[in-house]
């Protein structure tokens, strides 16, 4: 750690990991409800568990992104953070708001929550991933703006690198596109159409800028390859990502009432979306192969390479599998979508946040890298979680293919629930893979507490 | 040396390409807005439908069901539940929840009034009349 | 490496003449696989000139020549395949 | 010692040396663009195979004269750009800027003709949703049209650069990069025109 103010990243990282654990616990509950339908009913109905599962994911990734920015920006700009105090205040505001929201989901009926939080003034709730009550949504905007103010002011007074510019652009985009969550027209088609301005333009747009910037930062640090080389490839990769991803939004507009030309525009451009992810994988491996130093933090290097591969598999390959309109006609809204969603989020965003945590946390704790023992444990957790996720994806894909076949393609289509019963075996296997994932996550937690000979900070 | 690869050029292409494709996207969005009235069934957006949409949202139906294929995949697609089941079935179904059948997926009872049930059904009817390019492939959704 | 002005002028004349040919075929309304093949070949030759001379890929590493010329030929091959698919049997 | 430094200073014979004219970044971008266009062209062709009569009939209604004239304009603009590059390579910055101006005039001509063509088409009720052929006709030509506009912006930047004497032998990257992009816009049209306007 070169700048004192980078230390504010630590609580963000800790909160991120804590909420990650919560997310997985609710994921396991939902997975079990898929096969034991009345599990925890009526205490935690599926929709509540799902809301907690997905909202925790978003919130902990945001914690991760913010922590990453607080760690990265001072080092890139070569100056202290504009206001570490503001960063700490925002941390508590965001954490308390997030916790209150989740408690509200769990202990107040959703309709009551909506009424109590002013949903009648401006109805924004009850849409997938945007279930947050109005005060929470406003809180997210306030926190995001104050955060961006802090980061932007830091950038203004310091060195402007490509990595920090791209990161900042991604973070600003994140805040700006979130504003569409306040637009909820009565017209369902328009509601859905602009809803994707938040969801798609986040995960297949501006978040990719954040992802690429974080990955580039860690690669510079652990490989010692020239900044110049890494930064120009960063630009090329994010160019490809946005060129394909922006029009690629069209792959969500096939069947929601939008004009039918989106089937062409969406298919063509989203078919090209794997290219930037492939480029990212090649890039990551290339840089590590050309490394000029052996960084003592082997675990961080592993996470960085894993991000490239898993993002390509999850977002690239599994996205491509069902992105073409004639295929999507049958797979839209089935377990295929769930399979893609799980691996893409894990491979791209979960892993990049863990990459930066893995790299930065030892430094924040005053050492270049964790002890050999701790790193071995962390690498075990990498393989456990990653392989478990591969199997979760494979089982969901199998379930999805069978579901599509029985319910959509067949001449005598089964009803939804009948088809679900047929694929129950795959749901069971997915749940077991989920348990392995959870074990991997616990292993990851444990790796923070393993003592041993720590590597001193490189002089 | 087979050519030049400069960071400044890569940066310019990034900004230029992004603006270019975003403008292209906006052009398509503009055309979509012009075309939507012929497809989105807005002429049937009655007060009941609007009230029904709000009930749909405030009961977080999307947390289990999908609507036009979007949402959760835990419970049936409801974009075409109106033609699949009809209004009376839908209302009776809502009132008889939860089934309590052991081991089966459970749907909460939302204790909706008759008027609220009618509104919700109106919303589902409106949704089913949106031109979705013939999706879903069959009535089972 | 950018060649001579005279060569560029000659290429331009050829390209415009070829365009006139394509236009004339269109005006006559000629159809059928032979005409389509002719127009495809004309387009390939024109594209090849632009790629090799205007874009100066003649002097580029072979990989880049292969990628661009390959794109041109492959695109027309796919178009040809589709055309053939759509012919009355 | 002297021999070694002398060898280093003498450029290798050009024929023996491969070189990509323009920045690698633009070439990656060009490849991505070509890929998108290529897929779009194929999509057109395979859709046509399902609606041959509709495509042929609606294709006849297009303004082939305007299309051909536009092809000539783009080719001429490309030719001017080549001359501009050649001029800059022999230290003739002024001539170079004039050639670029000529290219921009041709590009502007393309845009004006295209707008006229679109105006006529819209009057006849042609839209992205009016038929599969119209969808492809408008999508392909409009996608390309926007490339021409971007190309014009790039040519304008080159024009300013040339007037400021920014490009000269040994410092041609900016000019060659812009030129490569413009030629790509031309190249794509050389397929688009016969495919959409003529072949049936």
Counting one residue from chain C and one from chain D, the pairs whose CB atoms sit within 8 A come to 151
For residue A259, the distance in angstroms to the closest alpha carbon of chain D comes to: 7
- Percent of chain C whose pLDDT exceeds 90: 85
Interface mutation vs chain A, best among D32, D35, D43, D137, most A CBs within 10 Å: D32
Check B17 against D29: CB less than 8 A apart: yes
Q: Per the domain annotation, does D2 fall within a domain?
A: no
Residue of chain B nearest D19, judged by CA positions = B2
Q: What is the pLDDT of residue D10?
A: 45
Q: What is the pLDDT of residue D16?
A: 53
Interface membership of B2 toward C (CB under 8 Å): yes
For residue A334, the distance in angstroms to the closest alpha carbon of chain D comes to: 27
For residue D96, the distance in angstroms to the closest alpha carbon of chain A comes to: 29
pLDDT band (50, 70, 90) for residue C2: confident
Q: What is the pLDDT of residue D23?
A: 95
Question: How large is the average pLDDT for residues A236-243?
Answer: 97
* Contact call for residues B60 and A126 (beta carbons, < 8 A): yes
CA distance A409 to A55: 33
When CB atoms are compared, the residue of D68, D184, D187 closest to C23 is D68
A417 conformational bin, left if phi > 0, alpha if psi -120 to 50, beta if neither? alpha
D 8-27 residues inside an 8 A Cβ radius of B = 18-27
- Hey, how many other C-beta atoms are within 10 angstroms of the C-beta on D148? 23
Complex prediction ipTM: 0.95
Q: Above 60 in pLDDT, residue A458?
A: no
Residues from chain B that touch D23, judged by Cβ atoms under 8 A, are 3-6, 9-10
Q: What is the pLDDT of residue D2?
A: 41
For residue C56, the distance in angstroms to the closest alpha carbon of chain D comes to: 6
Check D34 against C71: CB less than 8 A apart: yes
Residue of chain B nearest A189, judged by CA positions = B40
Q: What is the pLDDT along chain D (200 residues), one digit of tens a residue?
A: 344 444 444 444 454 578 999 999 999 999 999 999 999 999 999 999 999 999 999 999 999 999 999 999 999 999 999 999 999 999 999 999 999 999 999 999 999 999 999 999 999 999 999 999 999 999 999 999 999 999 999 999 999 999 999 999 989 999 999 999 999 999 999 999 999 999 99
CA distance A419 to A409: 12
Residue A42: cis peptide before it, omega within 30 degrees of 0: yes
For residue C37, the distance in angstroms to the closest alpha carbon of chain D comes to: 9
How many domains would you assign to chain C?
1
Residues from chain C that touch B3, judged by Cβ atoms under 8 A, are 60
The residues of A whose Cβ lies within 8 A of any Cβ of D are: 232, 235-236, 239-240, 243-244, 259-261, 264-265, 267-269, 271-272, 275
Which CATH number is D74's domain given? Answer: 1.20.120.80
Interface membership of C18 toward B (CB under 8 Å): no
User: Which DSSP helix (H) or strand (E) runs through B66?
Assistant: strand B66-67
Q: What is the pLDDT of residue A422?
A: 97
Query: Residue B77 is encoded by which pair of tokens?
Result: 């697609």
Question: How large is the average pLDDT for residues A435-442?
Answer: 98
Residues from chain C that touch D187, judged by Cβ atoms under 8 A, are 47, 50-51, 55, 72
Q: Above 60 in pLDDT, residue A388?
A: yes
* Contact call for residues A430 and A438 (beta carbons, < 8 A): no
Write out pLDDT tens, residues B71-92.
Answer: 999 999 999 999 999 999 999 9
For residue D150, the distance in angstroms to the closest alpha carbon of chain A comes to: 14
| Domain around C25 | 5-85
- Percent of chain A whose pLDDT exceeds 70: 99
Residues from chain B that touch C62, judged by Cβ atoms under 8 A, are none
Extents of the domains making up chain B:
7-37, 43-128
* Contact call for residues A413 and B140 (beta carbons, < 8 A): yes
* Contact call for residues C79 and C40 (beta carbons, < 8 A): yes
Q: Above 50 in pLDDT, residue A419?
A: yes
Q: What is the pLDDT of residue A386?
A: 98
How many angstroms separate the Cα of A329 from the Cα of each of A254, A415, B69, B134, D171? 8, 17, 10, 9, 52
Residue of chain A nearest D35, judged by CA positions = A272
Residue of chain D nearest A232, judged by CA positions = D25
Burial track C43-81 (b if 16+ CB lie within 10 A, e otherwise):
bbebbbbbbbbbbbbebbeeebbebbbebbeebbebbbe
* Contact call for residues B35 and B100 (beta carbons, < 8 A): no
Check D36 against A269: CB less than 8 A apart: yes
CA distance A37 to D108: 65
CA distance B105 to A454: 50
Q: How many whole angstroms from its chain centre is CA D120?
A: 24
Q: How many whole angstroms from its chain centre is CA A118?
A: 29
Q: What is the mean pLDDT of chain B?
A: 96
Phi, psi (5° rounding) for residue B71? 135, -145
Phi, psi (5° rounding) for residue A197? -60, -30
Interface membership of D150 toward B (CB under 8 Å): yes
When CB atoms are compared, the residue of D26, D128, D129 closest to B13 is D26
Interface mutation vs chain B, best among A27, A35, A46, A240, most B CBs within 10 Å: A46
Write out pLDDT tens, residues A80-131.
Answer: 999 999 999 999 999 999 999 999 999 999 999 999 999 999 999 999 999 9
The residues of B whose Cβ lies within 8 A of any Cβ of D are: 1-6, 9-10, 13, 16-17, 20, 23-24, 27, 31, 35, 38
Q: What is the pLDDT of residue D17?
A: 77
Q: What is the pLDDT of residue B2?
A: 53
Q: What is the mean pLDDT of chain C?
A: 94
Q: Which CATH class is domain B43-128?
A: mainly alpha
How many domains would you assign to chain D?
1
When CB atoms are compared, the residue of A260, A261, A272 closest to D36 is A272
Which residues of chain B carry a pLDDT beneath 50? 1
Interface mutation vs chain D, best among A229, A260, A264, A272, most D CBs within 10 Å: A264
How many angstroms separate the Cα of A72 from the Cα of each of A168, A237, D177? 11, 20, 33
In this complex, whether C and A touch, counting 3 or more CB pairs under 8 angstroms, is: no
Residues from chain D that touch C79, judged by Cβ atoms under 8 A, are 41-42, 45, 195
Question: How large is the average pLDDT for residues A310-331?
Answer: 98
Write out pLDDT tens, residues A374-384.
Answer: 999 999 999 99
When CB atoms are compared, the residue of D29, D129, D136 closest to A260 is D129
Max distance between CA atoms of chain A, in angstroms, equals: 71
Q: Per the domain annotation, does D5 fall within a domain?
A: no
Write out pLDDT tens, residues D150-178.
Answer: 999 999 999 999 999 999 998 999 999 99
- Hey, how many other C-beta atoms are within 10 angstroms of the C-beta on A394? 16
Domains, chain A: 236-459 (1.20.210.10)
pTM for the predicted model, two decimal places: 0.95
Q: Per the domain annotation, does D4 fall within a domain?
A: no
CA distance B17 to A235: 11
* Contact call for residues A130 and A124 (beta carbons, < 8 A): yes
């Amino acid at each position: 750690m070169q700048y004192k103010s980078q230390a504010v990243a630590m609580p963000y990282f800790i909160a991120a990991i804590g909420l990650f654990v919560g997310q997985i616990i609710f994921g396991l509950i939902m997975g079990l409800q898929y096969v034991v339908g009345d599990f925890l009913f009526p205490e935690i109905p599926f929709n509540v568990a799902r809301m907690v599962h997905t909202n925790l994911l978003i919130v902990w990734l945001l914690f991760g992104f913010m922590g990453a920015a607080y760690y990265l920006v001072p080092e890139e700009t070569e100056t202290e953070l504009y206001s570490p105090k503001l960063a700490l205040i925002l941390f508590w505001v965001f954490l308390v708001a997030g916790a209150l929201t989740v408690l509200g989901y769990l202990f107040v009926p959703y309709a009551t929550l909506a009424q109590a939080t002013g949903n009648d003034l401006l109805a924004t709730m009850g849409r997938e991933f945007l279930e947050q009550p109005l005060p929470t949504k406003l809180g997210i905007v306030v926190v995001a703006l104050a955060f961006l103010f802090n980061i932007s002011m830091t950038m203004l007074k310091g060195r402007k690198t490509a990595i920090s510019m791209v990161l900042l652009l991604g973070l600003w985009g994140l805040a700006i596109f979130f504003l569409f969550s306040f637009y909820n027209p009565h017209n369902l088609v328009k509601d859905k159409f602009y809803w994707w301005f938040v969801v798609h333009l986040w995960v297949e747009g501006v978040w990719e800028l954040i992802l690429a910037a974080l990955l580039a930062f860690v690669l510079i640090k652990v490989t010692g390859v020239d900044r110049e080389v890494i930064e120009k490839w960063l630009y090329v990769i994010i160019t490809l990502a946005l060129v394909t991803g922006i029009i690629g939004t069209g792959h969500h507009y096939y069947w929601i009432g939008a004009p039918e030309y989106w089937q062409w525009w969406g298919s063509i451009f989203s078919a090209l979306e794997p290219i930037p992810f492939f480029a990212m994988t090649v890039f990551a491996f290339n840089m590590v192969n050309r490394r000029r130093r052996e960084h003592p933090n082997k675990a961080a290097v592993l996470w960085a390479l894993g991000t490239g591969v898993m993002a390509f598999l999850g977002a690239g390959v599994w996205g491509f599998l069902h992105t073409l309109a004639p295929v999507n006609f049958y797979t839209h809204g089935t377990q295929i979508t769930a399979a893609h969603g799980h691996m893409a989020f894990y491979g791209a965003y979960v892993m990049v946040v863990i990459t930066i945590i893995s790299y930065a946390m030892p430094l924040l704790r005053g050492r270049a890298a964790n002890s050999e023992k701790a790193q071995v444990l962390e690498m075990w957790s990498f393989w456990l979680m990653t392989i478990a996720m591969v199997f979760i994806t494979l089982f969901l894909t199998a379930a999805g293919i069978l579901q599509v076949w029985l319910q959509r393609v067949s001449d005598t289509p089964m009803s939804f629930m009948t088809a679900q019963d047929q694929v129950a075996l795959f749901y069971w296997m997915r749940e077991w893979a989920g348990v392995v994932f959870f074990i991997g996550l616990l292993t990851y937690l444990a790796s923070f507490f393993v003592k041993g000979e720590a590597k001193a900070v490189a002089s | 040396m087979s050519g030049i690869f400069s960071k400044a050029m890569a940066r310019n292409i990034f900004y230029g390409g992004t603006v270019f494709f975003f403008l292209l996207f906006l052009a398509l969005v503009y055309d979509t807005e012009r075309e939507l009235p012929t497809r989105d069934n807005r002429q049937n957006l009655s007060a009941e439908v609007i009230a029904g949409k709000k009930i749909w949202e405030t009961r977080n139906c999307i947390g289990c069901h999908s609507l036009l294929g979007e949402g959760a995949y835990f419970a049936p697609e409801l974009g075409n539940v109106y033609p699949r089941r009809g209004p009376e079935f839908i209302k009776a179904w809502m009132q008889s929840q939860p089934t309590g059948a052991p081991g089966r997926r459970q749907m909460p009872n939302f204790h909706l009034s008759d008027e609220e049930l009618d509104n919700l059904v109106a919303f589902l009817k409106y949704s089913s009349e949106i031109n979705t390019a013939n999706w879903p492939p069959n009535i089972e959704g | 490496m950018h060649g001579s002005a005279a060569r560029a002028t000659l290429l331009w004349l050829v390209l415009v003449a070829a365009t006139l040919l394509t236009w004339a075929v269109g005006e006559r309304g000629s159809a059928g696989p032979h005409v389509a093949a002719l127009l495809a070949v004309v387009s390939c030759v024109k594209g090849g000139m632009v790629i090799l001379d205007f874009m100066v890929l003649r002097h580029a590493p072979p990989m880049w020549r292969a990628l661009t010329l390959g794109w041109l030929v492959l695109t027309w091959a796919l178009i040809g395949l589709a055309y053939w698919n759509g012919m009355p049997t | 010692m002297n021999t070694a430094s002398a060898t280093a200073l003498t450029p290798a014979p050009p024929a023996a040396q491969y070189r990509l004219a323009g920045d690698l970044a633009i070439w990656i971008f060009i490849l991505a663009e070509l890929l998108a266009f290529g897929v779009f062209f194929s999509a057109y062709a395979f859709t046509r195979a399902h609606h041959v009569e509709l495509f042929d009939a609606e294709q006849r209604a297009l303004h082939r004269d305007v299309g051909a004239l536009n092809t000539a304009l783009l080719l001429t603009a490309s030719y001017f750009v080549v001359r501009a590059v050649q001029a800059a390579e022999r230290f003739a910055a002024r001539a170079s800027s004039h050639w670029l101006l000529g290219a921009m005039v041709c590009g502007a001509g393309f845009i004006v003709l295209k707008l006229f063509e679109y105006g006529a088409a819209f009057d006849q009720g042609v839209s992205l949703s009016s038929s599969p052929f119209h969808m492809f006709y408008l999508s392909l030509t409009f996608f390309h049209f926007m490339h021409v506009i971007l190309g014009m912006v790039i040519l304008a930047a080159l024009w300013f650069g040339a007037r400021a004497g920014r490009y000269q032998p040994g410092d041609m990257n900016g000019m060659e990069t812009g030129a490569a992009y413009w030629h790509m816009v031309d190249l794509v049209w050389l397929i688009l025109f016969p495919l959409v306007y003529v072949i049936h």
